[in-house]
């Protein structure tokens, strides 16, 4: 079916149509302009490429109940297409072939994770709405975990724009938790293309502050650090500690001593009153770690570590 550059004033309906061309394009409609809706569902069956490059659909684009197959290339090519309304990609089964949505602009996407294609090109795709899992019904819809898998269907690998688009969508929906999860996953995927030193730094930021999106991780690190120090210094006293000359006779408290070393600016006078000897002199490590955690906390809270 050849509709190259065609103009249809209202609706174009292919429901129930069978378009087969095993050696090429089943529907060739680059720059097709449809004033309202384009229906390709309810039994729409193709063997060959459905090509709608730079098409403009004034209403909805419906592939609900369609079967698409082109194992030699693209089953559906919507590169640079513009759909003013919603686009329904709920196929009978997963398309056999690539689905290309690169550069497409869509009002909203309604799809089904059970029929996602094995290869889905998403770079440059923009959308206003997206099929998601509603908060009130956690058994239906598509979760953020599924959407992250959706992004990984792109055979070209990592690209920042699809992640930024998904982050922006969740933020517009008021779902900051899922937006943060996508932002963190974006940094994880980005890590693979970095140099070894940059990968090490990225791993460190991910483990400590979740790349700036989970500053509360630092509290867990601080608890762990203080717990280790408490245990170590409690075992080291009194063999490896000597009271400082002129100290006011402050009794040694391993927990307070650890906090005195670890927390920047805070002075609990334990470090002043007791001199560490032998292995206990490694307490400087806790001071360095405390300053590192404090610096990371400041950077995370001010947004300096966020990359989106």
The DSSP line for 221-236 is HHHHHHHHHHHHHHHH
What is the sign, positive or negative, of the torsion defined by CA atoms of 242, 247, 250, 255? negative
Pick from 103, 205, 200: which is nearest to 161 by CA? Answer: 103
Strands of the sheet with 69-77, listed across from one edge: 18-28, 45-51, 69-77, 96-100, 120-121
What is the sign, positive or negative, of the torsion defined by CA atoms of 74, 80, 83, 87? positive
Judge contact between 116 and 75, C-beta under 8 A: no
- Other CB atoms within 10 A of residue 34 CB: 25
Q: Which two tokens stand for residue 159?
A: 């690209």
CA pair distance 50, 68, nearest whole angstrom: 8
Reported as type and span, the H/E element at residue 199 is: helix 196-209
Q: Which two tokens stand for residue 153?
A: 């269907």
Reported as type and span, the H/E element at residue 47 is: strand 45-51
Judge contact between 243 and 273, C-beta under 8 A: yes
pLDDT truncated to tens, each residue of the chain (308 aa)?
Answer: 999 999 999 999 999 999 999 878 999 999 999 999 999 998 999 999 999 999 999 999 999 999 999 988 899 999 999 999 999 999 999 999 999 999 999 999 999 999 999 999 999 999 999 987 554 444 557 889 999 999 999 999 999 999 999 999 999 988 888 998 998 889 888 888 778 887 787 777 777 777 667 777 778 888 888 898 888 888 888 888 888 876 667 888 888 888 888 888 788 888 878 888 877 777 888 888 888 888 877 776 666 566 55
Backbone angles phi, psi at 155, to 5 degrees: -70, -15
Q: Which two tokens stand for residue 289?
A: 């770690």
Bridge pairing between strands 56-57 and 120-121: unpaired
> How much is the pLDDT for 122?
96
CA pair distance 293, 22, nearest whole angstrom: 61
């Amino acid at each position: 079916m050849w509709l190259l550059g065609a103009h249809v004033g209202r609706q174009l309906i292919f429901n129930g149509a069978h378009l087969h061309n095993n050696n090429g394009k089943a529907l060739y409609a680059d720059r097709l302009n449809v004033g309202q809706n384009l229906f390709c569902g309810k039994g729409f069956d193709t063997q060959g490429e459905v090509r709608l490059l730079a098409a403009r659909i004034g209403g909805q684009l419906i592939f609900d109940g369609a079967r698409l197959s082109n194992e030699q290339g693209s089953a559906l090519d919507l590169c640079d297409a513009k759909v003013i309304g919603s686009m329904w990609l709920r196929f009978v089964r997963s398309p056999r072939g690539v689905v290309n949505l690169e550069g497409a602009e869509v009002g909203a996407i309604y799809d089904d994770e059970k029929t996602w294609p094995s290869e889905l090109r998403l770079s440059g795709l923009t959308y206003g709405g997206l099929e998601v899992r509603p908060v009130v019904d956690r058994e239906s819809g598509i979760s953020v975990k599924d959407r992250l898998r959706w992004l990984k269907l792109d055979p070209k690998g990592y690209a920042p724009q699809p992640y930024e688009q998904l982050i922006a969508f969740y933020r517009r929906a008021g779902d900051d938790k899922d937006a943060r999860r996508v932002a963190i996953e974006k940094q994880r995927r980005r890590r693979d293309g970095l140099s070894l030193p940059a990968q090490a730094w990225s791993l460190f930021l991910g483990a400590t502050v979740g790349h700036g999106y989970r500053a509360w991780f630092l509290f867990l690190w601080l608890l762990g650090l203080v717990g280790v120090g408490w245990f170590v210094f409690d075992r080291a006293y009194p063999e490896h500690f000597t009271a400082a000359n002129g100290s006011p006779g402050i009794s040694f408290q391993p927990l307070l001593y650890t906090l005195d070393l670890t927390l920047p600016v805070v002075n609990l006078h334990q470090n002043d009153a007791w001199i560490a000897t032998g292995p206990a002199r490694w307490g400087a490590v806790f001071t360095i770690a405390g300053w590192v955690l404090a610096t990371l906390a400041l950077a995370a809270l001010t947004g300096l570590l966020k990359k989106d």
